[in-house]
Chain A
Amino acid sequence: GAGVSQSPRYKVAKRGQDVALRCDPISGHVSLFWYQQALGQGPEFLTYFQNEAQLDKSGLPSDRFFAERPEGSVSTLKIQRTQQEDSAVYLCASSVTSGGANEQFFGPGTRLTVL
């Protein structure tokens, strides 16, 4: 595709429900990142994939958060037993290869609201 896409764009969940957020990176991009953006704040890093390998998950806030990228393209961020503090915009980004010199391109985000 032309850019990074994410689905759904909006998700409302009742507390305790499980949710799955999808990211389609730019075709051929090796690196994929997930970020969490709380209202009025800058995005914060959650996890990073290089192809199918999850190289860094240091930003995941709890073991309720799980991310995968099994075939090195599409990625899914899963949140189990959602809590109100999980309400945020979840942003996905991709870059053409690994290495900190590469520009990251962002998707539109998924706005999660936990009631």
Chain B
Amino acid sequence: KQEVTQIPAALSVPEGENLVLNCSFTDSAIYNLQWFRQDPGKGLTSLLLIQSSQREQTSGRLNASLDKSSGRSTLYIAASQPGDSATYLCAVIDYNTDKLIFGTGTRLQVFP
């Protein structure tokens, strides 16, 4: 059974720092990996989608890498801003299903 773990569970940093959020999964047979952002009381906003054949994806200050063989992904946030404060969730799609399997998230707070 696929399990997804995110470390750290919570992170509080001053504005301007570069951040790394970690995601690991137990079964490397995945279709893709998706990073989401969730603001309090809101739904999920997709940030980056990495196909299983890809190594990384970039969008603005965000960069996500995928090492399928070791079961790891990292989300790199450059020059963090208070507006980045949210919970970040990673999720994988198993090779034989279409459903997303989520980690429990990293709650990020960026203070001015």
Question: Are the chains A and B members of one assembly?
Answer: yes
Which residues of chain A come closer than 8 Å to B101, judged between CB atoms? 45
B1-29: CB near A (< 8 Å → 1, else 0) gives 00010000000000000000000000000
Closest 5 CB pairs of A and B: A100-B31, A42-B102, A106-B44, A100-B93, A45-B99
Given contacts A35-B100, A42-B4, A98-B98, contact A108 B46 (CB under 8 A): no
Given contacts A42-B105, A100-B93, A103-B34, contact A33 B46 (CB under 8 A): no
Residue from B31, B36, B100 whose CB has the most chain A CB atoms within 10 Å: B100
Q: Choose one: A41, A91, A104; the contact of B104 (CB below 8 Å).
A: A41
Task: Please determine whether B97 and A44 come into contact, CB atoms closer than 8 angstroms.
Answer: no
A65-76: CB near B (< 8 Å → 1, else 0) gives 000000000000
Task: Please determine whether A45 and B100 come into contact, CB atoms closer than 8 angstroms.
Answer: yes
Interface residues of A (CB under 8 A from B): 4, 6, 31, 33, 35, 40-45, 48, 56, 59, 91, 93, 95, 98-109, 111
Report 17 cross-chain contacts, Cβ distance below 8 Å, ordered by A residue. Answer: A6-B43, A33-B98, A33-B100, A41-B104, A43-B44, A43-B89, A59-B99, A91-B44, A100-B31, A100-B98, A101-B51, A102-B98, A106-B36, A106-B44, A106-B45, A106-B46, A107-B43
In the complex, what distance in Å separates the CA atom of A102 from the CA atom of B102? 16
Name the interface size band of chain B: 20 to 34
Besides A4-B43, A48-B98, A101-B93, 20 other A-B contacts (C-beta < 8 A): A40-B104, A41-B104, A42-B4, A42-B104, A43-B89, A48-B99, A56-B99, A91-B44, A95-B98, A100-B94, A100-B95, A101-B31, A101-B51, A103-B49, A104-B34, A104-B46, A105-B46, A108-B42, A108-B43, A111-B41
Question: In residues 79-112 of chain B, which contact A (Cβ within 8 Å)?
Answer: 89, 91, 93-95, 97-105
In the complex, what distance in Å separates the CA atom of A27 from the CA atom of B21? 34
Which residues of chain A come closer than 8 Å to B103, judged between CB atoms? 42
B45-69: CB near A (< 8 Å → 1, else 0) gives 1100101000000000000000000
